[in-house]
Amino acid sequence: MSVVINARIVAFAVHALAVVASVMLFVWSICYRGGFAWESTNKTLLIFNLHPVLTLTGLVILGGEAIISYKSLPFEKRVNKLIHLVFHAIAIILGILGIYAAFKHHNEKHVPNLYTIHSWVGIGVIVLYALQWLYSFIIYFFPGGSSTLRRDLLPWHIFLGVFVYVLAVGNSVLGFLEKLTFLEKSGLDKFGSEAFLVNFMAIITILFGTFVLLIVYSKSPPSVEEDNNYSYSPI
């Protein structure tokens, strides 16, 4: 079942929301949280600030752009496939670095790791994301499975990709909630500008993910490489 919309037009909304989310994220991290550092005496802020930037930019924004590449970019299939593959690989790398930043912050501050549902789901997301990329690389890129195998696995490829992406978006929103709750318990004004900024970032993240999924289930642009009106659109 497909939604009858022009995927390439909707993709502009996705790109715009990606820019808005990125700007808001950097404004929050730099103007409100003090910036970034891999080594810092102010470990409460600067090291941990890398976590939301890297994970949201990687797993949600770049991951979303990778997902819609088959329907949003006007290139031939093999070029879109390469973009799809590379964007997902970069997303995984950024996600791993973001999770490492959180562990590094916790370890240096002697804070326990993996004690919240956000952290549990986050580990699950990065593991599933990496496994999905690895099996997809083998089946669809190199060495590549038979045409029958690729066709039979495609529905599972799409389902697992959507599942992992929805988890990533949901867990990012959960992370915003968790961080804001900690800040408010430390005295942050619940109706202050920073609280509103974080809440709006969560809303933009949800909207971004929603438009990505809308494109996934939209009717594809006509393709000379396909026998029907629906192009190959793995996640």
> Measured between alpha carbons, how far is 93 from 81 in angstroms, rounded to an integer?
19
CATH number attached to the domain at 7-216: 1.20.120.1770
pLDDT, one tens digit per residue, over 176-213 is: 999 999 999 999 999 999 999 999 999 999 999 999 99
pTM, two decimals, is 0.91
* Spatial contact of 66 and 22, defined as CB atoms under 8 Å apart: no
Q: Where are the domains of the chain?
A: 7-216
pLDDT, one tens digit per residue, over 67-97 is: 999 888 888 988 999 999 999 999 999 999 9
State the DSSP code for 192. Answer: S
- Is it the case that residue 136 has pLDDT exceeding 80? yes
Per-residue tokens: 210: 């929603």
Q: Which residues pair with 218 in a beta bridge?
A: 3
Task: Tell me whether the omega of the peptide bond preceding residue 222 falls within 30 degrees of 0, making it cis.
Answer: no
